[in-house]
């Protein structure tokens, strides 16, 4: 049985819901076979989210950590490849913090790669009928802050634990005016279950053309 710690964020920027938490909660209620999923709701706050994550990793002793966050404007799940060591917030977090051009971890590496098989995870979600692609950037807001902090934590203290990050599109009720793409939480959860299954069973990633031109 693979122990999984799965995180989602609280709503931010005035929203009433966050699709990452809605989907993560559904996955934890009905985890894929062979996994035990512990859900964790994180504050959308620089620094605080990493402290809550650190405590949860120590408490649950997972084999695998999958963090999720909202990516408004994206039409499918996106499995993040790289976390960068920079906070550059164009809007404040839920505590009013707005770091600009600051490192997530002073003196840390410039970037970390996810240690999940990102392309196998992408292919698995697609096979489950859920739009999914590889993303080369998790932005520079709290999602990337969490992703980088996770990978730094695992690299320095839990080298046998694998981790990564997936962005989830907005919920349909968040784009009622038709201004952007959306995905029901149930669909996102189906894709995340497929991603978890791949992450738990695939050790050597597949070859899949999934790069970006720009």
Q: Which residues are catalytic?
A: 80, 143, 167
Q: What is the Cα Rg of the chain in Å?
A: 16
Q: How far apart are CA 207 and CA 70, in angstroms?
A: 27
Chain centroid to CA 176? 25
Cα–Cα distances (Å) from 206 to 127, 162, 164, 176, 212, in that order, read 14, 17, 16, 38, 17
DSSP 144-206: HHHHHHHHHHHHHH-TT-EEEEEEEPPPGGGGTTS-S----HHHHHHHHHHHHHHHHH-SSPP
Q: 101 in the Ramachandran plot: left (φ > 0), alpha (ψ -120 to 50) or beta?
A: left
Q: How far apart are CA 124 and CA 198, in angstroms?
A: 6
């Amino acid at each position: 049985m693979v122990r999984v710690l799965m995180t989602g964020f609280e709503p931010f920027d005035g929203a009433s819901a966050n699709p990452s938490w809605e989907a993560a909660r559904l996955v934890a209620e009905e985890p894929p076979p062979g996994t035990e999923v512990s859900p964790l709701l994180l504050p959308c706050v620089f620094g605080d989210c990493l402290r809550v994550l650190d405590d949860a990793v120590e408490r649950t002793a997972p084999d695998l950590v999958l963090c999720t966050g909202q990516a408004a404007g994206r039409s499918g799940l996106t499995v993040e490849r790289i976390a960068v060591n920079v906070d550059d917030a164009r809007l404040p977090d839920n505590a009013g913090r707005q770091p600009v051009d600051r490192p997530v971890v002073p003196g840390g590496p410039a970037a970390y790669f996810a240690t999940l098989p990102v392309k196998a995870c992408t292919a698995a979600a697609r096979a489950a009928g859920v739009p999914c692609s590889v993303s080369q950037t998790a932005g520079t807001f709290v999602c990337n802050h969490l992703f980088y902090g996770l990978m730094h934590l695992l690299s320095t203290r839990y080298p046998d634990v694998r981790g990564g990050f997936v962005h989830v599109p907005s919920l349909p009720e968040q784009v009622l005016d038709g201004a952007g793409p959306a995905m029901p939480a149930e669909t996102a959860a189906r894709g995340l279950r497929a991603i978890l299954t791949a992450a738990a069973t695939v050790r050597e990633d597949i070859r899949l053309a999934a790069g970006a031109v720009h």
